[in-house]
Amino acid sequence: MTDMPTLQDVYAARSHVYQYLKPTPLHHYATLSEMVGAHVYIKHENHQPVGAFKVRGGLVMASRLSEEQRKGGLFTASTGNHGQSIAYGAKVSGIKATIAVPEGANPGKVAAMRGLGAEVIFHGKDFDTAREWIMKVATDKGGTFVGPTDEPLLHGVGTYTLEILEDLPDVDVILVPVGAGSGASATSIVAKSINPKIEVIGVQSAQAPAMQLSWKSGDLVSAQMETFAEGIATRVPFENTQIIMRKYLDDFVLVDDTEIEEAIRILLEYTHNLAEGAGAAPLAAALNMKDRLRGKKVVLVMSGGNLSLERLKMILSR
Amino acid sequence: MTDMPTLQDVYAARSHVYQYLKPTPLHHYATLSEMVGAHVYIKHENHQPVGAFKVRGGLVMASRLSEEQRKGGLFTASTGNHGQSIAYGAKVSGIKATIAVPEGANPGKVAAMRGLGAEVIFHGKDFDTAREWIMKVATDKGGTFVGPTDEPLLHGVGTYTLEILEDLPDVDVILVPVGAGSGASATSIVAKSINPKIEVIGVQSAQAPAMQLSWKSGDLVSAQMETFAEGIATRVPFENTQIIMRKYLDDFVLVDDTEIEEAIRILLEYTHNLAEGAGAAPLAAALNMKDRLRGKKVVLVMSGGNLSLERLKMILSR
């Protein structure tokens, strides 16, 4: 791997990110701290304009295109937040975005992509099918395909971890959800480069453990993908983020979907923030590792808030 | 009224506010824009650390105390957000806060005040009873009573309107909920001082219209108070904010509690933000005045997000 991103790449991405976005807040919550037995802070990436951290990456990607690439437009596949990020970056840069989504994609996320001016095309049963198809379309039309773990995206999303370290320089542990791994990779590069003692722990659903199994085994292992949390639903692992996470991540844990749903309920009640499954997974993990976190300063990355109203109703009616 | 706040007072408050808080985002929402037929932006004061705009005021209040006042501590009465604001300001300034709340106060807000280190005492059936009692307690103990419309609070909360005008200089209309009137007063002072053409419209619930009836009639009129939205539940009007609003506010409308509940549902579905009743009232009003807003740039002040889970369940189960 010759081009593993560095802290310097993340610093270089900041000006592109802050041209359009403001830093998100890092809030301390007394009630969550009591529940976990630690000093619990939430990094509110759910407060971003598209409701998820990925928008930082889309802005950096769009800023790096040549004039020819700008004309050809951006093509990608997404279950939602990655697509919104590319749509947002394309919109503010005056570029066309075409996004393939699997059938049954989160309707709120699809509406948001269209609201940002992107062309959204439903294709295939899951992310990987949609992705293979749109890659061919991009080639046929002379456009640029953007994969969910492309380097400029990692540079952009790394900026939220700089903000964490600016606001809470003595953070002990950062818990971050893992889907394709862009957030966790960038978080661990930034945190470890600034202070190697900071523990960075990845979280995935036990109902979609491909990235965790791959990290544990050292191979690239596909797995079942049955979680409701589309932000961390990965069937086929991504190699570049695996390489980074093997170098930098301290641990990688699984939580059950039922634990994620309970975390969504707790977050709504005590922080008044709507988290999507991925965004609630770090709290679910923290509640499972109280002994390990006791007394520490712990940051939970609330990666996004784009939960469908339908799923919320199901969770609250239990 | 000799001491009506000025734009200069708000500028002077900024350094105290930004010592602890970051500017909140102003996001454009395509779906809401389509629903209203205007360019709809939300000012996300629900993203503040205590989940409401009032925290800006508490910081400014705490910064203005003499050494003697600091020793005596702050005393106030609150249905929730005002108390959290005073608790937050007191905590970061190392001062004791004692807060009287009416019986049946929003439990999430009470827990948050206690989490911030405030002493919370339940007293009386409504805000006004709690207020009269705690004023006496403050006098007996040599502390400082803070009313919900005291001048330093207005200076502090005015800062969110400066942020609106920095982010969207050509805003046409600002819709702001009215409880005691600190937010609406400060918004109209700032907006009108910078650009008198900006329309500022207050919103209250038809189930608690005391401030609106007083504004319309020019007298101070008490009224029924049966709204579920405690942030805009005022039985006895406040004189100083009435004087400001009579000078600066363009209009003051009422919305039904059922319309507020529907607005909460819409905001959760399309912006993925939890609004409390007060925070959703501006959208309810906008949906009632589409003709008047058509094609304009409209800012809805989402004043707070501290809705109880119990109320949310009721709204979603309909």
Task: Calculate how close chain B gets to A214, using CA atoms only, in Å.
Answer: 33
Chain B residues in contact with A47 (beta carbon < 8 A): 25, 44, 47
Taking each continuous run of H as one helix and of E as one strand, the counts in chain B are: 16, 10
pLDDT digits (tens, 9 = 90+) for A123-146: 999 888 999 999 999 999 999 999
Q: Note the pLDDT of residue B2.
A: 53
Task: Calculate how close chain A gets to B241, using CA atoms only, in Å.
Answer: 29
Confirm whether the ipTM is greater than 0.85. Answer: yes
How confident is the model over A36-59, as a mean pLDDT?
97
Which of A298, A249, A215, A302 has its CA nearest to residue A37?
A298
Instruction: List, in sequence order, the alpha helices (H) in B119-238.
Output: 127-141, 151-157, 159-167, 182-194, 210-217
The two structure tokens encoding residue B67: 């050494």
The two structure tokens encoding residue A206: 């036990």
Give yes or no for residue A201 having a pLDDT over 90. yes
Other beta carbons within 10 angstroms of residue B222's beta carbon come to 13
Contact A317 B312 (CB under 8 A): no
Q: How far apart are CA A315 and CA A313, in angstroms?
A: 5
Q: What's the sign of the alpha-carbon dihedral B275, B278, B282, B288?
A: positive
CA B277 to chain centre: 11
> pLDDT digit of tens for each residue in chain B (318 aa)?
457 999 999 999 999 999 999 999 999 999 999 999 999 999 999 999 999 999 999 999 999 999 999 999 999 999 888 999 999 999 999 999 999 999 988 887 898 899 999 999 999 998 889 999 999 999 999 999 999 999 999 999 999 999 999 999 999 999 999 999 999 999 999 999 999 999 999 999 999 999 999 999 999 999 999 999 989 998 899 999 999 999 999 999 999 999 999 999 999 999 999 999 999 999 999 999 999 999 999 999 999 999 999 999 999 998
| Domains recognised in chain B with CATH numbers | 7-53+152-316 (3.40.50.1100), 55-148 (3.40.50.1100)
Share of chain A above pLDDT 70, in %: 99
Task: Calculate how close chain A gets to B133, using CA atoms only, in Å.
Answer: 28
- What is the per-residue DSSP string for chain A? ------HHHHHHHHHHHHTT-PPPPEEE-HHHHHHHTSEEEEEEGGGSTTSBTTHHHHHHHHHT--HHHHHH-EEEE-SSHHHHHHHHHHHHHT--EEEEE-TT--HHHHHHHHHTT-EEEE-SSSHHHHHHHHHHHHHHHT-EE--TT-HHHHHHHTHHHHHHHHH-TT--EEEEE-SSSHHHHHHHHHHHHH-TTSEEEEEEETTS-HHHHHHHHSS--------S-GGG--SS--HHHHHHHHHH-SEEEEE-HHHHHHHHHHHHHHH-----HHHHHHHHHHHH-HHHHTT-EEEEEE-B----HHHHHHHHT-
Contact A22 B23 (CB under 8 A): yes
Chain A residues in contact with B270 (beta carbon < 8 A): 108, 111
In this complex, which of B31, B44, B114 lies closest to A115 when CB atoms are compared?
B31
Q: Note the pLDDT of residue B1.
A: 46
Ramachandran region of residue A106, left (φ > 0), alpha (ψ -120 to 50) or beta? beta
- Closest residue in B to A51 (Cα) is B272
Contact B312 A274 (CB under 8 A): no
Q: Which site among B272, B316, B317 would you substitute to test the A interface, given the most A Cβ atoms closer than 10 Å to its Cβ?
A: B272
Buried/exposed code over B158-197 (b: 16+ C-beta within 10 A; e: otherwise): bbbbbbbbebbeebbbbbbbbbbbbbbbbbbbbbbeeeee
Rg of chain B on CA atoms, in Å: 18
The two structure tokens encoding residue B293: 């807003």
Q: Note the pLDDT of residue B105.
A: 87
Residues in A lying within 8 Å of B, measured between beta carbons: 22-23, 25, 27-31, 44, 46-47, 49, 51, 108, 111-112, 114-116, 265, 268-274, 276, 305-307, 309, 312-313, 316-317
pLDDT digits (tens, 9 = 90+) for A92-129: 999 999 999 999 888 878 988 999 999 999 999 988 89
Q: Note the pLDDT of residue A211.
A: 97
Phi, psi at B140, each rounded to 5° = -60, -40
Query: Residue A28: beta bridge partners?
Result: A41
Chain B residues in contact with A44 (beta carbon < 8 A): 47
Give yes or no for residue A227 having a pLDDT over 70. yes
In this complex, which of A30, A51, A317 lies closest to B272 when CB atoms are compared?
A51
In this complex, which of B22, B49, B272 lies closest to A274 when CB atoms are compared?
B272
Long-range contacts of B257-263 (CB under 8 A, 24+ apart): B257/B205, B257/B206, B257/B207, B257/B227, B257/B228, B257/B229, B259/B284, B259/B287, B259/B288, B260/B205, B260/B227, B260/B228, B260/B229, B260/B284, B261/B228, B261/B315, B261/B318, B263/B287
Contact A46 B272 (CB under 8 A): yes
B44 in Cβ contact with B65 (< 8 Å): no
Buried/exposed code over A256-288 (b: 16+ C-beta within 10 A; e: otherwise): ebebbbbbbbbbbbbbbbbbbbbbbbbbbbbbb
Contact A47 B49 (CB under 8 A): no
Task: Calculate how close chain A gets to B217, using CA atoms only, in Å.
Answer: 37
pLDDT classification of A20: cutoffs 50, 70, 90: very high
Q: How far apart are the first and last CA of chain A?
A: 47
Q: Note the pLDDT of residue A1.
A: 46
The two structure tokens encoding residue B41: 């932006």
Rg of chain A on CA atoms, in Å: 18
Contact A44 B44 (CB under 8 A): no
Please tell me the least confidently modeled range out of A87-91, A111-115, A164-168, B279-283: A111-115
- Closest residue in B to A108 (Cα) is B270
Task: Calculate how close chain A gets to B258, using CA atoms only, in Å.
Answer: 19
Element (H, E) at B74: strand B74-77
Phi, psi at A26, each rounded to 5° = -115, 105
Contact A309 B268 (CB under 8 A): yes
Task: Calculate how close chain A gets to B43, using CA atoms only, in Å.
Answer: 12
In this complex, which of A25, A112, A116 lies closest to B47 when CB atoms are compared?
A25
